[in-house]
Chain A
Amino acid sequence: MRLSDLNKGDRGLVKGIVPEGHDGPGEIGHDELERRLLEMGFVEGAHFHILHEGLVGRDPIALRLDDTRVALRRREARVILIERDTAP
């Protein structure tokens, strides 16, 4: 599953980052995106909890990621592989 598929309230674990997309003209490329996401703490094994969604298209999303709070667009969240917690 991708982080971009989840909704407010969902929790889970980061499983990895897929190297795809974001390499159109003028875009930063997936390698750069991967490194930025890693630097913000989207590392394998990090726990997250989606706290808020934006007004339009429920985008961007704000989440607690281990000890930090970060916000990103679903477009970028698409490359983040996750495993959703099933138990509430």
Chain B
Amino acid sequence: MSDAVLGTRIALVGNPNSGKTALFNALTGSRQKVANYPGVTVERKEGVVLTPAGRRVSVVDLPGTYSLRARSPDEAVTRDVVLGRLSGESAPEVLVCVADATNLRLVLRLVLELKSVGRPMVLALNMFDIAERQGIRIDLEGLSRALGIAVVTTVAVRRRGLADLLSKVDMLVGGQETAVASWHEPSAAEIRKAHREAEQIMRTYVRPPLRPDTWTGRLDSVLLHPVAGTAILMAILFLMFQAVFSWATPIMDMIDASFAWASQAVTQYVPPGLLQSFIADGLIAGVGSVVVFLPQILILFFFIILLEDFGYMARAAFLMDRLMGVAGLHGRAFIPLLSSFACAIPGIMAARVIDNKRDRLTTILVAPLTTCSARIPVYTLIISAFIPDRLVWGFANLQGLVMFGLYAAGISGALIVAFIVRKLIWRSASEPFLIELPAYKLPDAKNVMRGVLLRGQIFLKRAGTIIASMMVLIWFLSTFPSAPANAAQPAIDYSFAGMIGHFIHPLLAPIGFTWQMAVALIPGMAAREVAVGALGTVYAVSGNVDGTLAATLSHQWPLATALSFLVWYVFAPQCLSTLAVVRRETGGWLWPGVMFTYMLTLAYVASLIVFRLTTVLAG
């Protein structure tokens, strides 16, 4: 809808952790839509609210910031929207500055800066109930006079003060007293001056708490303790990934089963042929391969949003900053990377918590190197076929040891690549680590659920469309042209996928791959575990019965080929969905291209070394 239809637009601005999003949710309810700002990957959240005067007002929720000086893409969006610099968008008519009423010092300086923009403004003192409980006394009239703007109190999670806020907005929209816009990037001296002014206002109109929050300090003495805090973080993460794996698995199995049932139904009612194959193997399998990620994404984001709203994420970054710093990564990169052990897709989506663009890109680039759960079927198949099930050194199972080695190779690969990118290519490992540790707050169930559903919706809408169409493409490549009637080889061998496989086989021969493997890699791009089924297809044995396939492979492949294949799967970009999500998250094909190229190179070189070494040693 255009501005003309919606009429008035207001924007919510404020420090991070001020309850801005909770206020946005309370105001707009379910009438929200999320899009991306053009050209950048910052989310644009907009909703509609009716004011007491009956005005239809559209509300924009801007990324949290301490200043209009943009330091990250998120903050640049905040600045550009507030100043009306965004093309195709006029500046919002009213700014609503949202403040945590218990933590006013820094936001008052932001209010003074925002005033120089020259827009009508309301200051909403949010979480006012907590301020009252702590015995903070705020002289609202005095504060309003000193700042020269309207001040209201709100409790977003209890929907208190909303009508008051909106009627203030009504008043401001009516009046036309827009001051002269004089905003420019403040110098250090100007920031100091504004701080002193804010300090003065604080001292005059805000009485410090009689019963200050002691819980945050008490919790921090455990949660930030170098040893206990780290142990608790590990326990939380353990629980989180257990949940992602074990809670998601039954639902994922159910989704798999229902999509399998749907294909089955299609094969019963649609006559065999191209249409049947398209619906069952192309369309249904394509949509299924998107939906199957949803449980993991919802569970992971449930934990992430819960921890974020509780105030713990900044603590996790504090605890992990130094360890991640060894690889040139930011403390906040920890959660996205660990999430990638379940699946790189939610991991890459979770990299949004990193403000700095380069830090975020580095994290996204290395995320697919951590061993995701889709590699497990491939690893299990090859290990069971080639690695003897026996004890070494008296206690360690050799198969388990190889599995561990593959995980270790993935982790070290990710850390080394991150190190190389940050230390050698971008050489800017020194993005300052400077974060506020917000007071702990009980997360609000409604806001958490809304956030989780929003993530799921975004995934289905944005990544889902690409993933599904890629799956249809792979179906197309594996199906056309169809096999002749008296075909001696499996049908896939006559298809485009087969042709591509045969075509690239000479390139893969040096790393020990057979042509069947080269062919199987093409449908294997759909998802890593699909390679198991694809190998079954090209070797014309049932891919579902691992026993048969494993036995076939162990006769057909030398050990060197098997190890080379395993190493290939550690590093190779064998997952189109991941590339599709990277495209969505980075807003172009450049970064997926970089990722594809470096992972392919890495995989090829590593497989080559492993294949040659094993051939020499075993031969």
Q: Do A and B come from one complex?
A: yes
Chain B positions within 8 Å of A52 at CB level: 220-221, 224-226, 318
- 1/0 contact trace for B42-68 toward A, CB 8 Å? 000000000000000000000000110
A81 located at the interface, meaning its Cβ lies under 8 Å from any Cβ of chain B in the complex: no
Instruction: Decide: A35 near B188, CB < 8 A? Known: A26-B427, A66-B105, A67-B105.
Output: yes
Question: Contact check: which of A35, A69, A76 meets B436 at CB < 8 Å?
Answer: A69
Interchain CB contact under 8 A, B432 and A73: yes
Chain A positions within 8 Å of B232 at CB level: none
B431 located at the interface, meaning its Cβ lies under 8 Å from any Cβ of chain A in the complex: yes
Tell me, rounded to whole Å, the shortest Cβ–Cβ distance linking B182 to chain A: 18
Chain A positions within 8 Å of B71 at CB level: 32, 36
Interchain CB contact under 8 A, B318 and A39: no
A1 located at the interface, meaning its Cβ lies under 8 Å from any Cβ of chain B in the complex: no
A25 located at the interface, meaning its Cβ lies under 8 Å from any Cβ of chain B in the complex: yes
Docked pose: A27 CA to B319 CA in angstroms:
23
Interchain CB contact under 8 A, B432 and A40: no
Instruction: Decide: A39 near B66, CB < 8 A? Known: A54-B321, A54-B322, A56-B322.
Output: yes
Interchain CB contact under 8 A, A71 and B428: no
Question: Contact check: which of B105, B220, B426, B428 meets A68 at CB < 8 Å?
Answer: B105
Interchain CB contact under 8 A, A70 and B434: yes
Interchain CB contact under 8 A, B426 and A76: no
In B379-415, the 8 Å CB interface with A consists of: none
Question: Contact check: which of B191, B192, B322 meets A57 at CB < 8 Å?
Answer: B322
Instruction: Decide: A69 near B437, CB < 8 A? Known: A26-B428, A44-B192.
Output: yes
Docked pose: A81 CA to B521 CA in angstroms:
59
Size of A's binding interface in residues, CB under 8 A: 40
Instruction: Decide: A22 near B192, CB < 8 A? Known: A60-B318, A70-B435.
Output: no
Interchain CB contact under 8 A, A36 and B321: no
Size of B's binding interface in residues, CB under 8 A: 47
Interchain CB contact under 8 A, B105 and A59: no
Interchain CB contact under 8 A, B106 and A39: yes
Interchain CB contact under 8 A, B192 and A33: no
Chain B positions within 8 Å of A69 at CB level: 216, 220, 436-439
Docked pose: A22 CA to B430 CA in angstroms:
8
B314 located at the interface, meaning its Cβ lies under 8 Å from any Cβ of chain A in the complex: yes
Among B195, B427, B428, B432, the one with the most A-chain Cβ atoms within 10 Å of its Cβ is B432
Interchain CB contact under 8 A, A68 and B103: yes
Tell me, rounded to whole Å, the shortest Cβ–Cβ distance linking A13 to chain B: 14
Tell me, rounded to whole Å, the shortest Cβ–Cβ distance linking A23 to chain B: 10
Chain B positions within 8 Å of A73 at CB level: 321, 432-434
Docked pose: A71 CA to B224 CA in angstroms:
11
Chain A positions within 8 Å of B20 at CB level: none
Can you report 8 residue pairs joining A to B where beta carbons are below 8 Å apart? A17-B188, A26-B430, A36-B434, A39-B106, A66-B105, A67-B104, A69-B438, A72-B433
- Footprint of A on B, CB under 8 Å? 66-67, 69, 71, 103-106, 109, 186-188, 191-192, 195-196, 199, 208, 216-217, 220-221, 224-227, 230, 314, 317-319, 321-323, 426-428, 430-439
- Footprint of B on A, CB under 8 Å? 17, 22, 24-28, 31-41, 43-44, 51-57, 59-60, 62, 66-73, 75-76
> A70-B437, A71-B433, A71-B437 provided; 12 other pairs, C-beta below 8 A?
A35-B67, A39-B67, A39-B191, A41-B106, A41-B195, A51-B217, A54-B319, A55-B226, A60-B318, A67-B208, A68-B436, A70-B436
